[in-house]
Amino acid sequence: MYPKVYVYLERIYENARYLNNLCNNYGVNIVGVTKVVCAEPHIAQTFVDSGISILGDSRIQNIKNMIDNGIKAEYMLLRIPMLSELDNVVRFVDYTLISELKTARTLGEVSKFFNKKIKVIYMVDIGDLREGVWFDNAVSEVSEALNIKGIEVVGIGTNLGCFGGVIPSKDNMQKLLDIKSEIEKNTGIILSVVSGGTSATLPLIEDKNLPKGINQFRLGESIICGTDATNRRIVPGTRQDAIVLEAEIVEIKEKPSVPYGKIGHDAFGRKPSFIDQGMRLKGILAVGEQDISPSTTYPLDDKDIEVLHASSDHMIIDLTKSKFKYKVGDKIRFTLGYSSVLRAFTSSYVEKVIL
Ligand SMILES: *Cc1c(COP(=O)(O)O)cnc(C)c1O
């Protein structure tokens, strides 16, 4: 069945191993984040084989699936939990990120019921505007969380780059460390974990700019894709071809570069714009927005192919510049960026081939 994604486990292993060494040498422990591949068990096992001991995912279902597949690791829930899933959090999770006292208290209650203490990393928003207590209020809120019975607040963490696109820096990492010191001074309790970042924080290690004391990174994209979308870069020392998509051509025709007729909006409510380049040789691949994101779908073998656009189930490519004579039925291979990997693994229409 096409489309297919090929998963090269050895390449993922290489990336994981490389990043694990890089971070460990800097006193930073890695949480291997599996959400972009929907916690595909072979990939999760590869993370563990590479030396990663904590696996992180946003979805309880994914964590449960890894446990059911016998993957031996500690598990971290990355998305701050819903009140309605706390019983499952207690059952399946070792660490959870939290940013609400109400959730922390309820978790404490539920924990008592199951007689199991969950380790909590309290999230602090140092500017990106996604989860976490705003930094000005962090010392008092986390100090209060440290009093809650039934949970163990082991540290603080932050998330950057994901909503506001804020780039991790020496300054905002230091801010997190200052908050940690204040909390420790305030409460007399030592926080053992400072979970500083995602793949977007790696440049601070590469450039030796990470302040001492940040001791955990939660890495997904850099291990699986070898990229860092926030900084728009390839992560040095990693490969980008661990996941490869293969899709089949269902039409090849000469067509104009500009549509014919009055232009409204496309299938996704976007207003397309076109440059007149005359007649072009265009192909349609049987893959679409439901399976990938065309802006992060990159031709692997033939760099002269240009990805133009996609609707739900059709991706349009321009073959005019290619040296090859493609025909209907041919398969084309692509490497994928983060958003495309996420969709490909979420789509049940994409066959996964583990190599
Ligand atoms: C997704 C996620 C990560 C991993 O980010 P990458 O960019 O894939 O490295 C880390 N932390 C949290 C809270 C996340 O949701």
State how beta strands 29-33 and 216-219 pair. Answer: parallel
Can 35 be counted among the known catalytic residues?
A: yes
SS3 of residue 170 by DSSP: helix
Between the CA of 213 and the centroid of ligand 1 the distance, in Å, is 20
Residue type, 177: L
Q: Which atom of ligand 1 is nearest to the CA of 195?
A: 11
Q: Can you tell me the distance from the alpha carbon of 274 to that of 251, in angstroms, rounded to the nearest whole number?
A: 21
Cβ–ligand 1 distance for 219 under 6 Å, the answer: yes
- The pLDDT value recorded for residue 273 is 83
Structural domain 8-234, CATH architecture? Alpha-Beta Barrel (3.20)
Using DSSP, state whether 96 is helix, strand or coil.
Answer: strand
Question: Phi-psi category of 92—alpha, beta or left, where left has phi over 0 and alpha has psi -120 to 50?
Answer: alpha
Q: What is the pLDDT along the chain (355 residues), one digit of tens a residue?
A: 999 999 999 999 999 999 999 999 999 999 999 999 999 999 999 999 999 999 999 999 999 999 999 999 999 999 999 999 999 999 999 999 999 999 999 999 999 989 899 999 999 999 888 999 999 999 999 999 999 999 999 999 999 887 888 889 999 999 999 999 999 999 999 999 999 989 999 999 999 999 999 999 999 999 999 999 888 999 999 999 999 999 999 999 999 999 888 888 887 888 878 889 999 999 999 999 999 999 999 999 999 999 999 999 999 999 999 999 999 999 999 999 999 999 999 999 999 999 9
Is 58 close to ligand 1, i.e. is its CB under 6 Å away? yes
Phi, psi of 244, rounded to the nearest 5 degrees: -125, 130
CATH class of the domain whose range is 243-354: mainly beta
**Cα separation, 230 vs 90, whole angstroms:** 32
For Cα atoms 33, 38, 41, give the angle at the middle one, nearest 5 degrees.
85
Q: Which of 57, 98, 159 to mutate to test the pocket of ligand 1 (most atoms within 8 A of CB)?
A: 159
Tell me, what's the pLDDT at 31? 98
3-class secondary structure, 105? helix
Confirm or reject: Cβ of 180 under 6 Å from ligand 1.
no
pTM: 0.94
Domain coordinates in residue numbering, the chain: 8-234, 243-354
Contact (CB, 8 A) for 329 and 252: no
Helices (H) and strands (E) in the chain, counts: 10, 19
- 125-128: which pairs have CB atoms within 8 A and are 24 or more residues apart? 125/99, 125/158, 125/159, 126/158, 126/160, 126/172, 126/175, 126/176, 127/160, 127/164, 127/166, 127/172, 128/158, 128/159, 128/160, 128/161, 128/162, 128/163, 128/164, 128/165, 128/166
